[in-house]
Amino acid sequence: MPDTDPPTIILYAMPGSLYSAKARAYLRKQRLPVEERVPGDPRFEAVVQAVGRWIIPVVQMPDGTLVQDSSAIIDAVEDAGLARLSAWPADPVARVLALIFELFGGEGLVRPAMHYRWNFDADNLAFIGRDFVNGLKPGAGSEEAEAVFAASSGRMRRAAEAFGVTPDTYAAVEASYLKFLGLLNAHLATRPYLLGAAPTMADYGLIAPLHAHLSRDPHPAAIMKARALHVWRWVERMTSPDMDAGEFCGRTDFGEPASDTLKALLAFIAEDYLPELAAMTGWIDAWLETQDPAALTAQPIKRAIGRMTFAWRGHDIAVGVFPYRLHLLQRVQDAADALSPAAHGQLSALLTAAGLHDILRLRTRRRVERRDNAEWWAA
């Protein structure tokens, strides 16, 4: 008898949404039947009620279960045995590296993603305006569309400031991004995916900002095409269901994942994002000490719990404190803690050389757990 076709997964997402890009790329690589619906679809209202908040992406699994959060979506598909290409490298050290890139892609690259979307209106605004309305209110007339975009773009511009994107930091954000883009381009000149011949969580983490904002919006798209052909090709590759790696002529052996170009990327993360992680964990730990334990664990965690200031590239920047980032950091640390002594030594040597070893020790007195499609403080 022929195999039964796998049932359809429903993905609620938007083309221009950062975290939607991560989930979408993963689902495409699995070649699973997926029906994508925008949040402006009337059926999304029932999803919002069930999940408890307006947020994307959300998937409805074949059994009807709703899963919110791009990382949780990937985990759910893997756990259900539906993955054609697992997001997890076979090598346990490489798995930790993949989780570091997941954290950095979804959180550490938010500053350039927000800057290049919202601070180049002459190039971006017409495209973004129609794109947002198509997702939020399909079929809206011009007057309604203008109101929908004004409301959503206003929120996003304020969010950019919460990530430290202000006129004082624009030049530093651009210099940082262009350095990263050059390092990633050099790495992807040698292999089709971050860790070799197939996509892993490293790629899914990075595709979130590099597709939705930085290769799709007109202004940063022109920068990527002009300066980083190999990154542009990788974006195309990551949005295709097949491997789309013809220029590598069928090669599958790309040597050690921890090449010199990958080490340079890890050193960049240490320089660019580790200071924020250190400030965040210190702030959260001090904040937790002041909270009533019973009240703390009685309800889901708010998206942001405060603001902190830290030194970044010659600027003191004020940013929101987002406990979700602690959840992703814990994923890195949990995977490292599970390594054998020999593998942990290998990882430790690699991260120490990159200046990134502190990512394994930045912990708080309480963990962040994910349950019921939300973050909670652990008891």
**Per-residue DSSP letters for 92-114?**
HHHHHHHHHHHHIIIIITHHHHH
Confidence at residue 254, expressed as pLDDT on a 0 to 100 scale: 82
In degrees, rounded to 5, the angle at the alpha carbon of residue 87 between the alpha carbons of residues 18 and 9 is 65
Query: Does any domain span residue 4?
Result: no
Question: What is d(CA 131, CA 125) in angstroms, rounded to the nearest whole number?
Answer: 10
User: Are 64 and 102 part of one and the same domain?
Assistant: no
pLDDT in tens, 219-236: 999 999 999 999 999 999
Clarify whether residues 302 and 213 are in a common domain: no
- Is-contact 284 321, C-beta < 8 A? yes
Q: Which of 222, 246, 266 is the endpoint of a domain?
A: 266
- Asked which of 26, 56, 79 is the last residue of a domain, the reply is 79
β-pair partners for 9: 34
* Residues 14 and 71 reside in one and the same domain: yes
For β-strands 374-377 and 315-320, DSSP reports them as unpaired
- Domain's final residue, options 238, 266, 294: 266
Task: Judge if 236 and 312 occupy the same domain.
Answer: no
In sequence order, the 6+-apart residues with CB closer than 8 A to the CB of 277 are 325, 329, 358, 359, 362
Region 26-30: mean pLDDT is: 98
Residues 123 and 223 grouped into a single domain: yes
* pLDDT over threshold 90, residue 138: yes
207 C-beta neighbours (distance < 10 Å), count = 26
Residue 140 in this model has a pLDDT that exceeds 50: yes
**Which pLDDT score, from 0 to 100, does residue 1 have?**
39
Task: Answer yes or no: do 144 and 160 share one domain.
Answer: yes
State whether 59 and 101 are in the same domain: no
Percent with pLDDT over 70 in the chain: 98
Both tokens assigned to 273 = 């994002």
258 alpha carbon, distance to own chain's centre: 21
pLDDT digits (tens, 9 = 90+) for 64-82: 999 999 999 999 999 999 9
Give me the number of domains the chain comprises: 3
Query: Is the overall model pTM greater than 0.85, yes or no?
Result: yes
Q: Whole-angstrom Cα distance, residue 238 to residue 90?
A: 20
Cβ burial 280-304 (10 Å sphere, 16+ → b, else e): bbebbeebeeeeeeeebeeeebeee
- pLDDT computed for residue 258 by the predictor: 74
